[in-house]
Amino acid sequence: MSDYSKLYDAIVTGDHRTAVEVTKAALEANVDPSELISKYMIPAMNEVGQRFACNEYFVPELLIAARAMKAALELITPKLAETGAKRIGRVVIGTVKGDLHDIGKNLVASMLEGAGFEVVDLGVDVPPEKFVQAAQERPGTIVAMSALLTTTMLNMKNVIEALQQSGLRDKVRVMVGGAPITPQFAQQIGADGYGENATEAVDVARRLAAELGSVAATTG
């Protein structure tokens, strides 16, 4: 296999154009798409996350890195489907009802995709029933909710209650995040995880995906 480390560098530096060019060249050379993700893209996003944690990178750098990664991933995803490659987990994500803010949600979605998750983005102003429907259609999923307003954060509890009423609560894991959200609030409403930022959200999602895998193995 040729050296496609330029893909790693392009994502870390947020070089959207180079990320696309290198990915196209790799796919034309019949490189295994899952290898591109595991060898270059996931390590690149891990590096971006570490730089953010060390205050070397800030939200703008995270956003441009995520944009470069997403551009490459859009080329790879159809190839992954053809090969039947398995993702490490599935996340249904959305901003709760009444809230139209999506920058944080989009960043988390991109970081999760870069980490190897299948992400279903429900968008903004998402009512509880839409989260429930998405979870019903995708068993063993993580439901991720975002809110930026104190007036809408309580709708996260409504989603969890709707999941409970539909009989899905034990079959999914719920994670929450957003500016007004705290670990105490997440615990109070019965969420399984809380991410203070996008990189922490990825770590939480990995833990919850492992939990879901254990449940599936036990009940399967």
Residues 220 and 112 in one domain: yes
Q: Answer for the pair 101, 148: CB distance below 8 angstroms, yes or no.
A: yes
Q: What average pLDDT is seen over the chain?
A: 90
**Paired tokens of 213:** 């895998």
Number of C-beta neighbours around residue 23 at 10 A: 27
Query: Per residue in 145-192, pLDDT tens?
Result: 999 999 999 999 999 999 999 999 999 999 999 989 999 999 999 999
Kindly state whether residues 34 and 130 are assigned to the same domain: no
E strands along 125-202, which residues? 142-146, 173-177, 193-194
Q: Which domain holds residue 192?
A: 87-220
Query: Could you tell me if 81 and 91 lie in one domain?
Result: no
Tokens 């991109």 belong to which residue?
110
Q: Are residues 7 and 46 in the same domain?
A: yes
pLDDT at residue 204 is higher than 70: yes
Alpha helix positions (H), 145-190: 155-165, 183-189
Beta-sheet strands, E only, within 53-112: 89-95
**Is 98:125 a contact under the CB 8 Å cutoff?**
yes
What is the tally of structural domains in the chain? 2
Q: Single out the residue in 48, 64, 85 at which a domain terminates.
A: 85
Q: Average pLDDT of 76-101?
A: 86
Task: Calculate the alpha carbon distances from 194 to 144, 190, 204, 219 in Å.
Answer: 9, 11, 7, 26
CATH number at residue 36: 1.10.1240.10
Which of 70, 85, 100 is the last residue before a domain boundary? 85
pLDDT score at 85:
65
Burial group, residue 190, by CB count within 10 angstroms (0-12, 13-18, 19+): middle
62 and 10 within one domain: yes
Instruction: Write the pLDDT tens digit of every residue in 95-117.
Output: 999 999 888 898 888 888 878 89
The pLDDT value recorded for residue 131 is 98
126-151: average pLDDT: 95
CA angle, corner 47, sides to 172 and 35, nearest 5?
A: 70
Residues 69 and 132 in one domain: no
What is the band of 1 on the pLDDT scale with cuts at 50, 70, 90?
very low
pTM: 0.77
Location of structure tokens 């009444």 = 98
Same domain, 58 and 92: no
